[in-house]
Amino acid sequence: MKKLIKSSQTNRFKNVSRIVYSYGGYRDRMVYTPDKTSYDSINVWIRKKTEEVSILKMIERQVDAENDSFQLNAAGKRYDLESGDQDNCPVLSFLPMNKASAIESIHNCLFNFFGDSIEYHWVARDHKLFIPPPLQNVSVCLSIENLDNV
């Protein structure tokens, strides 16, 4: 199945150079890939813009939460997966006690698919400072502006 998906999406996968796991900030708990870079001019200022393609949103849920989800088996563990409302980005939900293993499972699935041919970045911002479990080939960037949350 993996070979079939890869062969049918070869051109699309050539554009994937890195996957970003974002925890905190604007893209809180998102897994995405910066798709392409373009330049935008506003007045005299020119700024670099990166279009991002969302892969997955991760949310913690309560034990008694009811939702319209189906079970995803990722690396031998089951998680709830549902379609996203606004941006059609799938949502992976898990119990707070399973957060580290959920993140590790998703990364292992992506790493098994793409391998070390792309870069993997973990970006954590101040108010949601969460350091991930050890993940293969992941660079970590922490932005700490308020030490009260550490």
114-127 tens-digit pLDDT: 888 888 988 877 65
CA-derived radius of gyration, the chain: 17
Q: For the whole model, what pTM was predicted?
A: 0.72
**What is the domain extent for residue 106?**
14-149
pLDDT digits (tens, 9 = 90+) for 25-80: 666 678 888 765 544 445 445 555 556 778 888 888 776 556 677 777 776 777 88
Domain annotation covers residue 117:
yes
Work out how many domains the chain is built from and give that number: 1
Element (H, E) at 49: strand 45-60
Domain annotation covers residue 6:
no
CA dist 57 → 1, 78, 89, 124, 146 (Å):
24, 16, 7, 15, 25
Query: Could you give the 3-state DSSP secondary structure of residue 100?
Result: helix
